Chains A and B, each alone.
Chain A
Amino acid sequence: MGTMLKINDINVFYGAIHAIKGASLEVNEGEIVTLIGANGAGKSTILRTISGLLKPKGGSIQFEGKDIAGMPAHEIVKCGISQVPEGRRIFAEMTVLENLELGAFTRKDKDGVKDDMEMVFNRFPRLKERISQLAGTLSGGEQQMLAMGRALMSRPRLLLLDEPSMGLAPLLIREIFAIIQDINKAGTTVLLVEQNANMALSIAHRAYVLETGRITLSGDARELAASEDVRKAYLGG
């Protein structure tokens, strides 16, 4: 199991605001790694930087040995990284099918796309029932499933998930997290950003804790879940 993603000492700015201050992290092939931290710590900023929506100042981001820092976002998708953005960001005025087709935008292998569409429908049968419905008419949970299915359609080797539990009922959150584990077992490496640290630590192999732009703790997810500091700060005691 080699290192798939290696972020080394990146700094990210929003105008004059120094959002990420020299963060480094690694994701190994086959892992679920979670990045937890309070609101505004910079978790989404890190994912957006990996995806190429933001450009880091200094530092490096290597994916499968290739330097991807500063590459345009649409090129990074082609490298094998796909993101489920915060708030799902589905294309509400397009159908479920069109949303999934857009997920496969970079692909030319029609048969493979067809197979993956079946795979997504097997994983999320409710999407198949709603295939020609406008995505904006789906419930919150279904929209999350659509956003995940859409991201899988590019056949990513690394899946970035930003707050998949946001706004969902506890039962649905458990369902979504079980699906994330399934996706990982089927061979996709996962980097998961969550405010729901309890859930995230329960399915992750390793974890990083981000505080105001700096990584303050890292290690085995189970050990972090048991540590006094993390329990106090993020797990509600």
Chain B
Amino acid sequence: MEFSHQFVQQLINGVSLGSIYALIALGYTMIYGIIKLINFAHGDIYMVGAYIGFFAVTRAGLSIVPALLISMVVTGLLGMLVERLAYKPLRHAPRISVLITAIGVSFFLEYATMYFVTPTPRTFPEVMPSIAFNVGPFIINGQQMLIMGITLVLMLVLTYIVQKTKLGKAMRAASFDVETAQLMGINADRVISFTFCIGSALAAAAGVLVGVYYNSIDPLMGIMPGLKAFVAAVLGGIGILPGAVAGGIILGVIEALVSGFISSTFRDAAAFAILILVLLFKPSGLFGKNTREKV
């Protein structure tokens, strides 16, 4: 009884942490899907999103939902700007050049943020009363509800955009085959720019939610979640949207279980052990498929 009780409690913690990874992983996987770039600056975009949310709450005095929306819009625009300035000029360059540029962008965002807001961690203000819901013997706190609720809404919106809208169809077509998409009259540059916008906005939402959850943000906060979300994207199958969500949640749950039952010092090791195992045994990821071509 005691064991199963703790197990379910850790599961709840894991799903809420995993939702954060899923939001970041979605951006990774969307950007990879369309320009085959592992955008190592994505974790830092998430960090910038957290800061914008922080200032929207502390300076502009907004409540959490408007702050979240503003952070998503501004960070979305930042993502487009980064793509336009750093990646677009390298469209026909070897992939390694773009990858190195992404690492450069990552450092730039980290240290530019430090310059502007100092490296001191900031305490995210309480944006909601600390409430806890008792579901039977289990406890879900308000922040966890917020994280899971907002993640769910954002995923539904994303699914609608990708599946139903014209732009979403263009995104899917371009990530399958950019050249043929252009032959359909799709402006690939515009689709790529839009993809960065959506991916960055989702990362910003994750950043704000983490600020609310852990109360603390700093300019290097994006490094570890960025790497973890990369693991989540690879676990689910890079380039596959439902894979990123599943990978994020699985990763979050495993981390919570490891912290709860073994030791929280092994948490990060577990995440990277998963990466190694996936790369060894199923490099295409859980949702990855074997591509074959018909002639």
A residues near B (Cβ < 8 Å) are 51-53, 72-74, 77-78, 82-83, 85, 87, 89, 91-94, 98, 101-103, 105-106, 136, 138-140, 143, 150, 154, 166-167
Contact mask B105-144 → A, CB, 8 Å, 1/0? 0000000000000000000000000000000000000000
Q: Decide yes or no whether B176 CB sits under 8 A from chain A.
A: yes
* Contact across chains for A53 and B166 when beta carbons are under 8 A apart: no
The contact of B186 among A52, A74, A93, A139, by CB within 8 Å, is A74
Q: Decide yes or no whether B278 CB sits under 8 A from chain A.
A: no
Residues of A within 8 A of B176 (CB): 91-94
Measured between alpha carbons, how far is A72 from B177 in the docked complex, in Å?
16
The contact of A73 among B169, B170, B183, B294, by CB within 8 Å, is B183
Measured between alpha carbons, how far is A162 from B281 in the docked complex, in Å?
40
* Contact across chains for A91 and B177 when beta carbons are under 8 A apart: yes
Measured between alpha carbons, how far is A28 from B181 in the docked complex, in Å?
28
Central interface residue in B182, B187, B293, by most chain A CB within 10 Å: B182
- A97 to nearest B CB, angstroms? 11
* Contact across chains for B184 and A140 when beta carbons are under 8 A apart: no
Measured between alpha carbons, how far is A140 from B179 in the docked complex, in Å?
20
Interface positions of B from 29 to 43, Cβ below 8 Å from A:
none
Measured between alpha carbons, how far is A29 from B83 in the docked complex, in Å?
42
Residues of B within 8 A of A87 (CB): 293, 295
Give me the 7 closest cross-chain CB pairs, A-B, nearest first: A106-B185, A77-B185, A73-B182, A167-B295, A89-B180, A105-B185, A74-B187
Dominant SS at the A interface? loop
Central interface residue in B169, B183, B184, B187, by most chain A CB within 10 Å: B183
The contact of B166 among A105, A150, A154, by CB within 8 Å, is A105
* Contact across chains for B184 and A105 when beta carbons are under 8 A apart: yes
The contact of A85 among B166, B183, B293, B295, by CB within 8 Å, is B183
With CB as the reference atom, state the residue of chain A lying closest to B183. Answer: A83
With CB as the reference atom, state the residue of chain B lying closest to A87. Answer: B295
Q: Decide yes or no whether B173 CB sits under 8 A from chain A.
A: yes
Residues of A within 8 A of B177 (CB): 89, 91
Q: List 12 A-B contacts (CB under 8 A).
A: A53-B183, A73-B182, A77-B185, A78-B185, A85-B183, A91-B176, A93-B176, A102-B170, A105-B184, A136-B294, A143-B294, A154-B185
Known: A94-B172, A94-B173, A102-B169. A74 touches B188 (CB 8 A): yes
Contact mask B208-245 → A, CB, 8 Å, 1/0? 00000000000000000000000000000000000000
Residues of A within 8 A of B170 (CB): 102, 105
Residues of A within 8 A of B188 (CB): 74
* Contact across chains for A101 and B294 when beta carbons are under 8 A apart: no
Dominant SS at the B interface? helix
Residues of A within 8 A of B181 (CB): 102
Measured between alpha carbons, how far is A143 from B295 in the docked complex, in Å?
9
Measured between alpha carbons, how far is A28 from B270 in the docked complex, in Å?
67
- B186 to nearest A CB, angstroms? 6
Residues of A within 8 A of B169 (CB): 94, 98, 101-102
Contacts A74-B184, A89-B180, A93-B176 supplied; 16 other A-B pairs, CB < 8 Å: A72-B187, A74-B182, A74-B185, A77-B184, A78-B185, A85-B183, A87-B293, A89-B179, A89-B183, A91-B176, A92-B176, A102-B181, A105-B184, A106-B184, A143-B294, A154-B184
- A57 to nearest B CB, angstroms? 16
Residues of A within 8 A of B179 (CB): 53, 73, 85, 89
Interface positions of B from 197 to 215, Cβ below 8 Å from A:
none
- B189 to nearest A CB, angstroms? 8
Measured between alpha carbons, how far is A136 from B295 in the docked complex, in Å?
11
- A200 to nearest B CB, angstroms? 19
Measured between alpha carbons, how far is A51 from B184 in the docked complex, in Å?
10
Measured between alpha carbons, how far is A207 from B161 in the docked complex, in Å?
46
With CB as the reference atom, state the residue of chain B lying closest to A101. Answer: B169
Known: A87-B295, A105-B166, A143-B294. A53 touches B182 (CB 8 A): yes
